[in-house]
Chains A and B, each alone.
Chain A
Amino acid sequence: MTKHAFADAGTLLGRSLRHITRSPDTIITTALTPIAMMLLFVYVLGGAIRTGTDNYVNYVLPGIMVMAIASGIAYTALRLFTDMKSGIFERFQSMPIARSAVLWAHVGTSMVANMLTMVIILGVAFVMGFRTSADLGAWLAVAGILALLTLALTWLAVIPGLAAQTMEGATGFSYPLIFLPFISSAFAPTETMPGPVRAFAENQPVTSIVNTIQALFAGQPVGDDIWVALAWCVGILVASYVAAMAVYRRKIS
């Protein structure tokens, strides 16, 4: 029964990627808000923030990327929700195809779309003065962490995509995620934050991810942050995948 699983997932991935090429606005709007934030922080607020580095673009870029991924995955929930409501989901489920292929196609689409968004944001950051001493290994490590984060958050997005009753419900879950970078080391060092806020900021996933990417771009040792970041990503991925599959099984039986 899973003989064609990869072929089916590939066919469905092609379909869903075509949705993106037909409406590239989804990628542009996903990139636009984080880019506006980057402009705001670098040219308006950045001058007043003491980060201990002389290049503030270098400092904010990782947080901006996390923010873009958090808003990009909302489209996975939206596309899945649309499929559920339109009946095409049921058509696929009543066909002799690997049933998980439908979900993996959406997950794959999210990976591609978010990668494109990352390229756009990186391009703007270079124009704004982003410079890095990262070697190939460091670049691959950055790409790997961002891909893992995207995968984890996309599976998280599958849950509301399957379970939501309204379009607002399907996409609303991403707002807290988009704001999470603000209460982290993404825009300002955590040292100046009051006790409880600092405790939260230092122990939530964005800080370890941002610190790791900042270090990789700066060509510095990443320390323990990379393990904390990986643990967060894998933890979110496993928990979201298990929960998403549980919701999926309930939906299709």
Chain B
Amino acid sequence: MSATASISVRGLEKSYKDNQVLRGVDFEVARGTIFALLGSNGAGKTTAVRILSTLLKPDAGAALVEDASVVEEAQRVREAISLTGQFAAVDEILTGRENLILVAKLRHLPSPGDVADGLLKRFDLVEAGGRKVATYSGGMRRRLDIAMSLIGSPSVIFLDEPTTGLDPEARLEVWRVVRELTAQGTTVLLTTQYLEEAEQLADRIAILHGGTIIANGTLAELKAMLPPAKVEYVEKQPSLEEIFLSLTGSTQAGTHQGGQS
């Protein structure tokens, strides 16, 4: 296992009764990078994250997080990590600020109130901070959830499908936050079923399918696995946007927008 790996997984297996979810999973995540575990529903992404975050014991194999075994040294692993699960794990009855203070106290930080205020500002929740979380929108909840995960500056953050159920705008916000994390040297393991999310965020992408990793590499490497790009001529119909823009006369904006494919 390489010295720079923040997460290192070897031969991980896990079954639920007769259902073998993980059949020997191997991967490594380099420190300070974003690693995306891509897979369809039920591929075992959440099972892998639950094992790495010490919530579940594997049947076989070894997993190290920051050089500590998730089975034998679970408490050391918990010191290093933070988990943001598939559903926002926030306390609905408390206010946003109280949620942050709760986690800061549980992390035994010296001034929980200041930590909370700083994060409210950073996540654009200052106004909502005094309101019960039950009144928050999905995007606000997710932001608070991620803010709670950052308390205590964990070196590894697990994000299990962080944008599932969010509207496009909230999704972009989450992406922005995740990018900021790696700028500070945090290692991020993210699971997603959205190909675009992996493409946008991840330094490396691993595809989990049938209980094993069937592909693992950078986006460029994964693209290179397929036959080289073919040039095809396709008749291009104008989009409604182009029709609209040409009719209204703002063609300049049209060419600018059209450059995305």
* Residue positions of A touching B, CB distance < 8 A: 1, 4, 7-8, 11-12, 15, 18-19, 22-23, 86-88, 90-97, 252-253
Contact = CB atoms under 8 A, between A and B. Distances in A.
Could you tell me the dominant secondary structure of chain B's interface residues? loop
Contact of B57 (A15, A94, A253): A253
6 contacts: A12-B106, A90-B85, A94-B81, A94-B82, A95-B78, A96-B79
Interface in B69-83: 75, 78-79, 81-83
Nearest to B54: A94
Interface in B47-69: 53-57
A134 B103 CA distance: 46
A97 B74 CA distance: 11
B225 to A, nearest CB: 34
A18 B92 CA distance: 12
Contacts of B87: 86-87
Interface of B: 53-57, 75, 78-79, 81-83, 85-94, 98, 102-103, 105-108, 132, 148
A87 B88 contact: yes
Given A18-B94, A94-B53, A94-B78, 14 more contacts: A4-B108, A8-B106, A87-B88, A88-B89, A90-B55, A90-B83, A90-B85, A91-B148, A95-B78, A95-B82, A95-B103, A95-B106, A95-B107, A96-B79
Could you tell me the dominant secondary structure of chain A's interface residues? helix
B78 A18 contact: no
A97 B106 contact: yes
A97 B93 CA distance: 22
A225 to B, nearest CB: 41
B79 A15 contact: no
Given A4-B108, A11-B102, A90-B55, A96 B89 contact: no
Contact of A91 (B54, B89, B93): B89
B90 A18 contact: no
A94 B52 CA distance: 10
B186 to A, nearest CB: 16
Contacts of A8: 106
